[in-house]
Chains A and B, each alone.
Chain A
């Protein structure tokens, strides 16, 4: 056997060992999710049988039907989609405009504006939550979509991310476009935005997942069951439906967790790019 072949065989067997070593933690890691699905398919008596079974004896969907009957789960999903969707669109719009001005125009106070936007990234939501609650309450916007969305219409992180991206696009393009008489705004949306698609998608996915996963703010500004988001709806099952069976609770959790997981799996490439672009700022 040649040394090259032996090396590649060695490599192959070490890859097999490596895969096996990773398989165990991977199974442990995915276990809570599979366990939830498994319980959601079990009958009430099977859930408490000892020793516990891994897979349901007879797969049955009655817990799902019961869960859908006991809480407006689809309404929760709808609310989360609307809130997270609008937050994403607004953050993209406000960030594109501001990042463009900061990256491609010259004006007095530019440095201060950029500094202020960066500074907002340092302020945690736990600090702004009480004053924002007072503001939203005073405006009569509690328990409304506006109240859920407005505090997150702009994003310092988004401005910073897109500012860095817009700066890298070559300037000649802009001058050529301006000679054609294209207005600033048209230029921005006809050239800059299409050229920045990877960054915009990455940030958009990041913004959506963050908004979808919000907990504290929706918890304090929504009051009626009809305004609850997915995250709060899930928590309600824990606290208010203590009497309902574990199968029903886990069926509801499955229905509310899976959209987020599927969304993440489908967009993980963009999400990862959004995160690592922002993380490499130092």
Chain B
């Protein structure tokens, strides 16, 4: 009887999550010959090819750089916004909604929203930069700027998501600590540093981990904004998997990349658990 209840979930997750995870590893160890259905054992060959591939190595570092560009910015900006919102400004719920709005916007849509802002001649971004006397880069077509452009749109989209968690954590901080709002600046800062921050550190950690994983999994905004280009400047890991699997039809090679990504995400998650257990303050 209980098995009838768990069967639908178990079947769905088994067929479309668990088995495919195993299947992906199997595929990564095989090579499908071009123009035939024959599949041959390739051992760790694809992984060896990955290590030797300059494109893949470049993609790896592009992704690492992307993580560095997006995660600290989206976590710290979200924390700042949440701290300000938590201190009861006027129109609090309206302001909060404004910061959360991009949560209802998918990564691909965020990309579309930013496309014209990045227009080198008629977009507001370069117009503003010009009036400040700064340079006007070709955001999406200059390899030196494209990744930053994608990162900015990503941070814009991710902030709201992180604000949600920080607001929930701050709401759980005891009221006597939060009501000490009449303190002067220095005392308030030391209170934040010594009391509030340790109290919300589990959330800080959780949000950082989720942001790192999100950054590693970025795809929609890249596909819409730059298609991995120019000159592979935004060819993040997932974009590379997509290209090799569905444009170059190199299933084994792409599967090996997906398994490596899986490994990275597992390591990030495990590291979060280990460090959180040791260093983060829990009440």
Contact = CB atoms under 8 A, between A and B. Distances in A.
Interface of A: 7, 10-11, 14-16, 18-19, 21-23, 25-26, 29-33, 35-36, 39, 47-52, 90, 93-95, 97-98, 100-102, 105-107, 110, 113, 116-117, 119-120, 122-135, 150-156, 159, 184, 209, 212-216, 219-220, 231-232, 234-235, 237-239, 246, 249-250, 253, 256-257, 260-265, 268, 271-272, 275-276, 279-280, 282
Given A22-B95, A101-B6, A131 B116 contact: no
Given A52-B122, A154-B10, A213-B106, 10 more contacts: A14-B181, A26-B99, A35-B124, A36-B116, A39-B116, A50-B121, A106-B2, A119-B18, A122-B266, A150-B16
Interface in B78-127: 81, 84-85, 87-91, 95, 97-109, 111-117, 119, 121-124, 127
23 contacts: A7-B182, A14-B181, A15-B87, A19-B91, A30-B98, A94-B12, A97-B8, A102-B6, A123-B262, A126-B238, A126-B258, A127-B262, A129-B258, A130-B20, A133-B245, A215-B219, A234-B224, A235-B224, A256-B109, A257-B113, A261-B105, A265-B97, A275-B164
B158 to A, nearest CB: 12
B249 to A, nearest CB: 11
What's the dominant secondary structure at chain A's contact region?
helix
B265 A124 contact: yes
Given A253-B113, A263-B104, A101 B5 contact: yes
A216 B20 contact: no
A117 B127 contact: no
Contacts of A33: 101, 105, 113
Nearest to A125: B217
Contacts of A94: 8-9, 12
B255 interface: yes
Interface string B250-272: 01001100110110011001000
